[in-house]
Chain A
């Protein structure tokens, strides 16, 4: 019956697409749970711990913005695979807490969706997998092209940049990135 086949095919395609989309969100959510566990374990054991046996990445830090109750486990590397599970620590930028600019990057519609709610003055807490904690304060936000970020990872000072795609509500991928710049707060209570 051709008149049933067409709607069924459309329905199938629709289901597959919807499923794919939902899978991305599901992966992002489930992975964070697994990552949280791996991260706790990493802090406890002091070793790089893979969240699941076939993972090609491991948690390196946890970032938290207390004011808006947002948190995420950051992974080593910013390959597409890693970014599906959590924010990635961009290669060749220093670790958080070290001299230079640490850059974390994540998807605008999953882990870093909360960046649109982050405002200048917010405090970002970063706990590294070695258990050390660092506190940063947001001092600027900006929109740049992906290849002209103007970030010198070896600059002096202790800085943190969170990056995600811009604009937040766009449906397709674009060349623009939204950056949240934060600078370490010295002598903050509870640091180290």
Chain B
């Protein structure tokens, strides 16, 4: 009976257990779906934030230019940001530039920002201002060490401080200490520069990025073993002791959007009715205030700081004024700036001497991209311009070097053909060992006095050991003249001008392929026509401190630029020289000089350059030269190798105990450069950026605008709207579903339990 009963009970239970299984499976399924849904929902936040992050913060390139950056819970971008505003005023012969760097710290930490930037090599930096909120702190000129100590002290004390140091005559570093979380600090520097003139054309140039420099191997790799030394050698000192200071991080343009948006405004008061005004590498908008005044702005708003800004202007008149004389009274001295363009005199009696031209072409990695194309085009053009009675040779270098012909060869068709195909086959790669190439170019073995020896050196000058090159030129130049041809979007103008000066030649800049022919034609006019030599300047009845002391030779279409400090403004200055075989004299009455601005600074800057050259050429001992430089710099408030500007805010702002992080601001790769050629292989990025525009940090602009600083003119903005949906509803619904489910399960279990109980009874 019992057994039978049991069997019956089993049979009865079979059906519900099946349903129970099915039900259980369904429940399981629902639970899985719910959990999955919950997981999906939970992961929404990161998914969205990731998208927003990438859209606005981490890869600014994905964001549309000009979008506002808004703080939200995902945080800020993690780096200090920088905006640059360049405001130039050209008054006659001089340019007054005000460069405003807007440092914004979007992080939650206190930050010290360090930015390495270029300035024109002839620029005299004399003013540093730091703007915090509505306070302006004006910097003082101090000896470099002392300035550094003052800055470090302020940094330790939690005070805001700014320091402007010169690394090279054209590379400067701004350090700004104690930028608080979310704060914006403006650093303004001002410099004075002479306008450049060439023939009929006046120009100015604003370098915007320090191109990555090739720094030859450090100490350990350059130990000299004398052949007879028996194993004893001497370790050479590092050719670039300050390599860290001139090598900021460079962003790979394929994976990073351009940084450091820059605005440029030029107030051009030429002093004569303006003809053509042209920007060579940027689109501009020109606004004519009157016949001789124009206001020039960038046409498309801010640009990334990745190439030089070059502006040229011409007078309406057929011929530019060939003489300019300007004066300024500072203290009890008069300063004078004179521009004289010697006439181009045709050589009647004598045929010019045939020339021996040594072409040197830099095919190092930094020349990769557009630069090598420009260099090759320039060199091939130059080869075509040689006369049959000239002689030539070609040298190419990277970290290795090749000399095409064992000695200079006649410029006949066969040799030119060989040279052309040699140049054509060049590829940009490797390091930049410029010194051996210069040494080879200057080795003048034949020494044939019937030939004028000229070295045409095509490079971007992207090296850190400029001083070594200058010393080489100074030691070996002999009778050769060196004509530097600067290639690319951001050449090292300091190297170019100083090398040309030491080599008694000229500096030609070619910034784009379109400029190759025009500029090379200009260079050949200089090469083929006799220079104005033996130049002297004599003041009639005043004592004058003239710079340059020894006036360099002046080539075709170039002006002779002379600065002088006078005890009084009286009498005249007589400039004498020889154009080819003819004597040339010009007398300028000083009374006719026009009022100029900042001439004393230009004179001092030029004197400092003279002292630096004297130091290089060992005409003055390093100590004497340094003493001269220091005295001039302190008197005229200029930043030099030995002096820095430092500004310290009196009130401390960083609370004690808060750590300070150093943020070295990255820079762009100069336009047209090939990242891989300079920095080696990198993982391939699948996408190439289509349009290079710097992300405008509107936050910074508005901050600047609110301060009523004449810094930023307009802000092309759109607001990024914050996320405005809560998950409250979703959470509540999910909660209710789960609760209901648990209730159902409970009830279901209870029934099962009851049934079991019943069956057991």
Contact = CB atoms under 8 A, between A and B. Distances in A.
Interface of A: 3-4, 6-11, 13-22, 24-25, 77-81, 83-84, 88, 90-93, 101, 103, 105-110, 112, 144, 146-154, 161, 163-165, 170-174, 177, 179
Contacts of A112: 724
A172 B722 CA distance: 15
Contacts of A105: 721-722, 724
B245 interface: no
A146 B739 contact: no
A21 B729 contact: yes
A177 B719 CA distance: 12
B731 A80 contact: no
22 contacts: A11-B738, A14-B741, A17-B38, A17-B732, A18-B739, A21-B727, A21-B729, A24-B731, A78-B70, A78-B72, A79-B73, A80-B722, A80-B723, A83-B722, A84-B726, A90-B722, A101-B719, A146-B722, A152-B715, A152-B717, A154-B714, A172-B41
B729 A8 contact: no
B725 A11 contact: no
Nearest to A168: B725
B69 to A, nearest CB: 8
Interface centre among B719, B733, B734, B739 (most CB of A within 10 A): B719
Interface stretch (B407-415, B672-680, B742-750): B742-750
Interface stretch (B60-68, B199-207, B391-399): B60-68
A153 B726 contact: no
Interface string B50-80: 0010011000000110011011110000000
Contacts of B719: 90, 92-93, 101, 103, 149, 151, 153, 161
B64 A14 contact: no
A110 B727 CA distance: 11
A22 B45 CA distance: 19
Nearest to A8: B742
Contact of B721 (A13, A84, A163): A163
Contacts of A90: 70, 719, 721-722
B738 A150 contact: no
Contacts of B56: 147
B731 A17 contact: yes
B714 to A, nearest CB: 8
Contacts of A109: 725-726, 728-729
Q: Is the interface of A mostly helix, strand, loop or mixed?
A: mixed
Nearest to A150: B718
A184 to B, nearest CB: 18
Contacts, number: 189
B730 to A, nearest CB: 5
B702 interface: yes
Given A92-B70, A147-B63, A172 B44 contact: yes
Interface in B613-637: none
B61 to A, nearest CB: 14
Given A18-B735, A153-B702, A173-B44, A165 B70 contact: no
Nearest to A77: B71
Given A92-B702, A110-B726, A103 B721 contact: yes
A163 B718 contact: no
Contact of B72 (A17, A79, A147): A79
A174 to B, nearest CB: 7
Contacts of A78: 70-72, 722
B735 A17 contact: yes
Contacts of B723: 80, 83, 146, 165, 173
B738 A154 contact: no
Interface in B157-201: none
Contact of A147 (B48, B64, B725): B64
A155 to B, nearest CB: 9
A172 B733 CA distance: 12
